[in-house]
Structures are given as structure tokens and as C-alpha cells.
Chains A and B, each alone.
Chain A
Amino acid sequence: MMDIIIKPKSFISENLKHEYSLKKPLAIVSFISILGGISGFLIMRKLMENLPEEIHSIFIAGSGIGLFFGILGGIVMWAIMAAFFHIPAVLMGGSGDYRKLLELVGYAQVPLIFSSVITLIVIAGFAPNLTPELIQNRAAVEQAFLSVPAFKASKVFGRLMLFWSLYLSVMAVREVHRISTKKAVVSVFIPVALYALISEGVRRWIGA
């Protein structure tokens, strides 16, 4: 599995010779989602320190539900992103199978394991104190986190890992659909740019 990191091109070429199998990519995506869920739980625990004990059970129940839907959401996002990479590739003359692309896009998320582990460690060790006044404002919470240098560094590292993952996705789209690198870049970055724009719009809309 680590071949996707060390020698991605040969890993993808070798993988294309076999029938698709989604077990390992599913494990990768689920693992990343679980790491994200644990990070969320640690933040929630930090929030609870400053909240009355009587509502702790609600927070714990909320964390459990959040973890479940986080894992489900991670898997759904993987399938949807692969579909969004697949459609432009097909429109630009690609002829690959969606299921094979889904498998390789799953493998392409391996770099995100590194950033998720780093984020988890940073949250466990350096999470700032979150007062009840602060947690009413999501932007203020984000600011409190970014005021800690370790969080800033982990955010930059996370972005780097994301771009690495996207680079691997470009290679996957190119090889699965047998299209040029330029077309594969367009296939991957159009949906990603749209997603970034929409999520930023939604963030501003809800006033976060």
C-alpha cells in the first residue's frame, strides 16, 4: 500500500492490471474519518471542561453520533469526489471505469493519514483553553486554535498533504482514463475548486 507514496506511477500501472477491489481503499478512507472523529472528540472534551457537568452526557452522545456520521460522511465524500473526477474526464474523451477510479482515488488519500495523525497529536497536546463565551463564536474558536504555532504548522502540513493527495488523484485519473496530464489536472481541479468555493460560500452564509 505504501507504494502509492514511494513509487505512485508503477503502483497505479500495476493496480490497473487487476480487477477493482475496494476493501483497502475503504479501510484507508474509514481510518482517516475515524482519526478525524477522534480529533473532534478531543476538542469536544476540551469544550466540556468549561461547561456544567449536567450537559456532559449530551456532549458525549453527540460525539458518538458525530463519529458515526463522520465515518459515513468520509466514505460518501470519497464516492462523490471520485464521481466528480470521473465525469469531466469522460466528457474530455476518457474511457475508464468509475469503479477503478474510485479504488485509486481511495489509495490517493494515503497522505491524508499523515496529516490526520499530526492533527490528532497537536490537538491532544496543544489545544487552547475554550471558554463558554468563546465557543459561541466559531470564528473565535478557529482564531484561538490558530494562535497556537503548532496548529498553524499542522494546518500548513495538512494543506501540503491535501495537494499531494490531489496530485496522486490526477495521476489516477490520467492512467484510468488514458487522457493527457493537462486534461487530468482539469478533471481534478475543477470539482475541487468548485467545492472550495461552495464550502467557503456556505461558511460565510452561516456566519462562521
Chain B
Amino acid sequence: MLSRAGQKLMWICTMIFLFSFVFGYSVDIPDRFKDLNNFNNLDIPHLNTYSLIINNLKVMLIIIFGSFSLGLFTISSIFWQGYILGLTLKAKGLTSSFLIIPHGLFEFPSIWLAGAAGLKGPQVFLRYLRGGEFVTRKDVKEYLTLSALSVVLIVIAAWIEANITPKIAERFLP
């Protein structure tokens, strides 16, 4: 479904995300910022599907429309998402991955797909600079497909985060 170039973009986004995650996980957190360690701060009951969809969609839209900033906002947003995830896992401990994995299985691919859409702009621009075509119908189709897929996945992720994650938290975490 994705062109070779589209697949390459998705791999680039995955790599940026993983790199920033490792970076976030390896940064020393000063003691005074470690109050994140308390799971009571999570305030899970206030999260509902609608609010999560709205919050996540905002991030997705920045990543997708980052295409028009030639990928600058796309890369920085993906970097930020991975960095915060790394920082959070370090602060809360690896057990918190119980709370992240269920919706993360949908949310992370959603970020990478949105990232591939966001990097479509710079890819087309670089192709044009190398003497190729500017925007083709195929580019637009791929951009819209990636964006739509990413939105669908983020909605599923939000539903899981609002309805499944709290149950896991209640069962497995003190």
C-alpha cells in the first residue's frame, strides 16, 4: 500500500522516535523532579475517550501539517513524544509500561504514520530540488492515506487508554 519512499519515511520516523526515547530515558532526572514517581499523580478517572482523542489529535495534526514546515514541526514533535515517553518511563519505573503498552501498540504506529505524512513535504521538495516533479497526484494520495490511517489508529488508542488502561492500572499497580 505504501510506496518504497513512504516506507522509508516511516522508518525514519520510527528511528527518530526510538532515538529520542533512549535519549529521554538516559537523561539524569534531578531528585526534585522525581515526584512523577507517584502513580496517584496520573489521575486516570478524569481521562475519557473524547478528551484523549482531542489531545492526541492536536499532536497528530502538528505532525501531519508539519509537512508545510518542510518537516521541522514533524521531526521536533516526534522527537518530543519519544523524549517524554523515555523520561516518563525512567521517572515512573518500567512497571509503568503496563499502562503504556496497550494503547501504545496503536499510538506509536499512529505517530510513525503521521510522521511519514509530515515528512512527505520535505521529500517532495527535495525531489523537486533534484530536478524531479513537484507535487503529483500519487503524493497527495499517499499523504492523505497516511494521515487518515494515523487518525484512525489514534482514535483506537484513545479508546483503549480511556477504557482498558484504568482497569489494568487497578489490577496490576498498587
Provide the bound-state CA to CA distance between A52 and B32, in Å. Answer: 11
**What is the distance, in angstroms, from B53's C-beta to the closest C-beta of chain A?**
26
Q: How many A-B contacts if CB must be within 8 Å?
A: 33
> Which B65-90 residues sit within 8 Å CB-CB of chain A?
69-72, 75-76, 79
Provide the bound-state CA to CA distance between A72 and B76, in Å. Answer: 10
Verify B72–A54 contact, CB threshold 8 A. Answer: no
- Whether B30 sits at the interface, judged by CB under 8 Å, is yes
**What is the distance, in angstroms, from B165's C-beta to the closest C-beta of chain A?**
29
> Which A58-76 residues sit within 8 Å CB-CB of chain B?
58, 61, 65, 69, 72-73, 75-76
- Whether A99 sits at the interface, judged by CB under 8 Å, is yes
> Which B98-150 residues sit within 8 Å CB-CB of chain A?
125, 128-129
**What is the distance, in angstroms, from B63's C-beta to the closest C-beta of chain A?**
15
**What is the distance, in angstroms, from B69's C-beta to the closest C-beta of chain A?**
6
Which residues of chain A come closer than 8 Å to B31, judged between CB atoms? 54
Provide the bound-state CA to CA distance between A65 and B19, in Å. Answer: 12
Provide the bound-state CA to CA distance between A74 and B76, in Å. Answer: 14
Verify B30–A76 contact, CB threshold 8 A. Answer: no
A residues with CB within 8 A of B: 22, 52, 54-55, 57-58, 61, 65, 69, 72-73, 75-76, 79-80, 99, 102
B residues with CB within 8 A of A: 23, 27-28, 30-32, 69-72, 75-76, 79, 125, 128-129
